[in-house]
Each structure stands twice: as structure tokens, then as C-alpha cells.
Amino acid sequence: MSIPVTLNRKDFVSDQTVRWCPGCGDYAILASVQKTLPDIGVPKENIVFISGIGCSSRFPYYMNTFGIHSIHGRAPTLATGLAIANPELSVWVVTGDGDGLSIGGNHLIHAIRRNINLNILLFNNRIYGLTKGQYSPTSRQGTKTKSSPMGSLEQPLNPIALAMAAEATFIARSIDAHTQHLGDTLLAASQHNGVSFVEIYQNCVIFNPTEWEGLDDRRVRDEHILYLEHGKPMIFGKDLDKGIRLNGFRPEVVQLGNGVTEADLLVHDESSTQLAFILASMEHPEFPAPMGVIRRVRKQTYTEGLMGQIATAQQARGVGDLRRLYESADLWTVTAKEEKPVKSKQTGRLSLEMDEAYVDEMDKEPEVTTFMQDRLIEDTIAALSPNAPITIDASASLAKAVRHMNTHHIGCLLVTDAQDRLVGIFTEQDVLHRVVGLVADLETAVIADYMTPDPVALKANLPIAQALHEMHVHGFRHLPLVDDEHRPEGIVSFRDVVHHLKESFA
């Protein structure tokens, strides 16, 4: 076992510029993965992300872990080899409905069938995004796209049912916009020994932005999502007033009350194959979309079985000798053939034209945005009239820091170095959790040892949405603002955001 190291989200953020379209749901999934990984209890060097081709498959670049951006549809194959060769690894396969269910469908099925210890994340947006908007294997029948101008003719694949058919030992579903649920689901997937298949409903803002309507809208989502909990009756709705009942072989939505009670409802059982198939068949909007862990059973993994067979064979026949095995077969020598050079026909213009077509796509029909959306994007953090920062030198004592906070009636100090650059943040939460009653002498203790070093800091010219984003992802109430030299310029709180959104309307 390795020495436990406390990691945080930042440890998993790479230095690569993220190149998804603005507003893409992949960003939310990336943030959730980066936020969850510190909690899975695996050292960073033992985490690997493997992807195929597609928008989602750019994922490994953005993770500060080992990773392979591999061949189209073949991520499960590379991951299979890796997971078997080194069972210590936490291997994550990132794929989409195109990569995983079109070209890579077979590889995906067989990786699942083998119950290899993988975490497979299938981003499902029901469209080909990277190739600019053709229908995918999960698109609903009749979907009109560039490649199906009169509507697609094929039946869509049901990823959950497919995973069931391949006997997946862990199957779950979540959605990009519900970060808390997604984080919990990812954590559960990582803890499962064996294959974990997670379908994530993901919003392609450019080519299929309305696919998950109802499910990704915070105002109504709880009316449309069935949150599954093992052993609990299937109740849903904002006011928990609806449920799922079985009528013969068919599930049906019932309103609680008028003689219908919880006792009439289906109870979720993660070990039931039959129930999992029923849940897989429940399609939104006819039914609420089942989310959470659909199936979780413990079965022998491929690695366990394989290692067992090797042990049995070695017991009977002794440890093998690879050279002897190799030389026991017929051997022959292949001589090199003369290579003739082939002239390249590449003009290099193709990609340029495609980019132009894509820019057209991006420019077409400006979306109608609401007042709130405009405020979040157009107004900058500077418009929040941030408070002047209260700073303290990194060498100051804790006693001084506490006095400073109490004199200014604030709960947050920005810690600076000799050049006045921001090096840390010290809040009243730190006082509660790390100082009071735990530090013997506040006069000799130095703030640098108790602050949070290198805090997230923003520039005042960023949109308000960015401030909310950081507050949401990290759970901060305050955000420091810095200038180009990283000197504190101000501090904004959530209250400032509320005031702004309140005032600007009046």
C-alpha cells in the first residue's frame, strides 16, 4: 500500500487549454471527475484515462494523470490490457455514443462481458459532435440531422440495456448538469471491483442542445428524474408524490394518495437482473429517467479468474519459461522487402474547409437568451463592486491574523508574500477546523502554516458566471481577485452576486 496523500481537485487539472465549445456539457463532467478523484483513495500515479475518438475523447489531455488518446472505438481494448497487466491501476475509459456504440460497439460489449476492473464513462449526447452533427446510434428514430435530412430510420441503441446484455456488474446513469449526483455516481463506480458502466447524459450545446430537456433544467428536473436508492421504494417528483408500480410486466407511473401507498411501489434492488431490464426500458419522457446505480453485483473479475488459472497451472506444471515456449514452435526468418516510396496526395485543405463549415454552424441563428443569462455572461466581476481586500503578510502570527479579522469584522484574509503577491487565503473556517483549541500558542504559530496555499483567484474582467462556477465547484463563499502581477485587488462574495442580480433588475 502507498502512503496516503491528500489530493485536491487542482492536482487533476492539466495545463492544456480545453478546446470544447463554450457551454459544452463535457466541461461539467470534467469538473465532476476532477472533483471526485481525490476521494477515490487511489494515488495519482495509479490513475489512467483512456479514450478513443470524439469530443469526449479529448478528456485525457485535460486530466493531469496518465492517459492515452487512442484509436477510434478501441479505448476498451487498450484499457483491458492495461487493467489486466497492472491490477493496481484505476483505469477510466472515456467514450461517447459514437466512439463507444458505433465503431467501438463490439469492443465495448466484450470489455463489459469480461468484467474487467474498468470504469467506463459513456457520454451520451445522441449526436456526432466532432464530425459536426450527424445522427448517432443513440439518436431517436426520426432525428433530422445533416446525414438524415428526412429523419433517421434506425432504432436507437439503449446503452443500459446493452450493458445488461453484456452482464455488466455495475451499471449507473447520471447527467452532466447535476454535479452532485454525477459526483456520487462516479465515486460509486470507482469503488466497484469489476466493470463499472456509467451512462452520462451530456448536452451538446451546438448540435443537439434540446435532447435532455426536462432533465437538465433545475426548475423541473426532479419531476422527471427517478433517483434510485437500493432498498427504497421508487418514489419521485419534487414533492415525492409519484411512484413506479408494476402492472403485469409493465412499469407504470402512479400518483401517491387515493389508496395508492408506498407499499404498492417497486422497491429498488441493485442485485435484480429483471428489475435492471425494466429500468433500462424506461425512457424519458414516457417515464421519469432512472438515475443512480441501476445494477451492482459482485462477480469474479477477469483478472481474478485469469490469475487463478495461472496459479492452478503453475501448481500442476511449474512456472513457465517463455523462451522455451517460443522456441518450441516452428521458426522461420522473414527477409526485408524493398520499400517503394508513395507520393502523398494530401493537400492540407480539407481541414480548413471543414473548419469554415463549422464556423458557419456556430454563427447561425443567434440564440434567444434570458435576462439572467445575459447578466451572468455579459457582466464582469468588476460590476459587482468588489470590496477592497484585507491582506496579511505570510510571516504574520495566527494571533495577529485573528485580531485582524476581528478588527475588520471579516471572515477571510488574503495572505501575501514580500512582493505583495497572493500566496494564500485564511478564513474563519480554518480558524474553526485547524486552530481553536488545536494550536497551543497563537503568537508563535505562523499563518503560512495554516492558510490554504495558492488559492483560486480570478481577474475582475471575467464574467460573473466564472465567479459562480468557482464558488459552485469548490464550495467557496469568497473569491479573491488579482491583477496581472497576482497582487490582490479585491474580494467578492456570493452576497455581492445576489445584490447585483437583484439591483440590476430594479
Partner 1 sequence: MSLKDELLNEQVSHLDLSGFCQIASGTAVRAALAAMRQSKTNVCLITTGSRLVGILTERDVLTKVATTLEKLDVPVDDIMTANPITVTPESSAADALWLMDEKKFRNLPVVGQNGHIVGNMTHQAVISYLAARYPVEVLNRPPRPDHFPQKQEGG
Separation CA 221–CA 242 (nearest Å): 14
| The one among 5, 153, 155, 218 contacting partner 1 by CB under 8 A | 218
b/e code 324-363 from CB counts within 10 Å (16+ = b): eeeeeeeeeeeeeeeeeeeeeeeeeeeeeeeeeeeeeeee
The correct pick among 11, 167, 184, 222 for binding partner 1 (CB under 8 A) is: 222
Neighbours of 391 (CB within 10 A): 18
Residue 31 sits in the site that holds partner 1 (CB under 8 A): yes
* Closest distance to partner 1 from the beta carbon of 324 (Å): 50
Interactions with partner 1, residue window 98-137 (CB under 8 A) = 129-133
Site membership for partner 1, residue 23 (CB under 8 A):
yes
Asked whether position 86 contacts partner 1 by CB under 8 A, the answer is no
192-211 residues near partner 1, rule: CB under 8 A: 203-207
CB 459, min distance to partner 1, A:
8
As a residue count, the chain comes to 506
Neighbours of 445 (CB within 10 A): 17
Report in angstroms how near the CB of residue 329 gets to partner 1 at its nearest. Answer: 46
* Min dist. Cβ of residue 26 to partner 1 (A): 7
Site string for partner 1, 310-329 (x = CB under 8 A): --------------------
Secondary structure E strands in 39-101: 47-51, 66-69, 90-96
C-alpha cell read off for 291: 438515475
Q: Does 11 bind partner 1 (CB under 8 A)?
A: no
Instruction: In whole angstroms, give the CA distance from residue 497 to residue 379.
Output: 11
Distance (Å) of CA 164 to CA 121, 155, 209, 321: 15, 18, 28, 40
Return the residues of window 130-189 that contact partner 1 according to CB under 8 A.
130-133, 176-180
**471 torsion bin: left (phi>0), alpha (psi -120 to 50), beta (else):** alpha
Q: Which residue's CB is nearer to partner 1, number 82 or number 405? A: 405
Asked if 22 is part of the footprint of partner 1 (rule: CB under 8 A), the reply reads yes
- Verify binding: residue 44, partner 1, rule CB under 8 A: no
Q: Which of residues 342-381 bind partner 1 (CB under 8 A)?
A: 355, 358, 361-362, 370-373, 376-377
- Rounded to an integer, what distance in angstroms lies between the CA atom of residue 65 and that of residue 61? 9
What distance in Å separates the CA atoms of residue 465 and residue 281, rounded to the nearest whole number?
37
483 binds partner 1 (CB under 8 A): no
Is 445 near partner 1 (CB under 8 A)?
no
Q: 374 to 433, contacts with partner 1 by CB under 8 A? A: 376-377, 399, 402-403, 405-406, 411, 428-429, 431-433
Give the Cα separation of 51 and 42 in Å (integer). Answer: 20
**Three-state DSSP class for 321?**
coil
d(CA 160, CA 171): 7
Q: Does 475 bind partner 1 (CB under 8 A)?
A: yes
- 130: cell is 466532432
- What three-state secondary structure class fits 274? helix
Report in angstroms how near the CB of residue 243 gets to partner 1 at its nearest.
18
Task: Single out the residue of 252, 284, 254 nearest to residue 160, CA to CA.
Answer: 284
Residue closer to partner 1 by CB (options 246, 445) is 445
Instruction: Give the residue, chosen from 281, 387, 452, 466, that forms a contact with partner 1 under the rule CB under 8 A.
Output: 466
469: contact with partner 1 by CB under 8 A: yes
Q: How far is the CB of 32 from partner 1 (least distance, A)?
A: 9
Total of residues contacting partner 1 (CB under 8 A): 86
Amino acid at 406: N
Among 2, 19, 262, 453, binds partner 1 (CB under 8 A): 19
Is residue 197 within 8 Å of residue 186, measured between CB atoms?
no
CB of 185 to partner 1, least distance (A): 15
User: Shortest approach of partner 1 to residue 451 CB, angstroms?
Assistant: 15
Write out the binding residues for partner 1, residues 236-295 only, by CB under 8 A. Answer: 238
Which of 50, 58, 200, 389 binds partner 1 (CB under 8 A)? It is 58
Rounded to whole angstroms, the Cα distance separating 175 from 275 reads 21
Q: Which is nearer to partner 1, 157 or 205 (CB)?
A: 205
Cα 399 from Cα 333, distance rounded (Å): 79
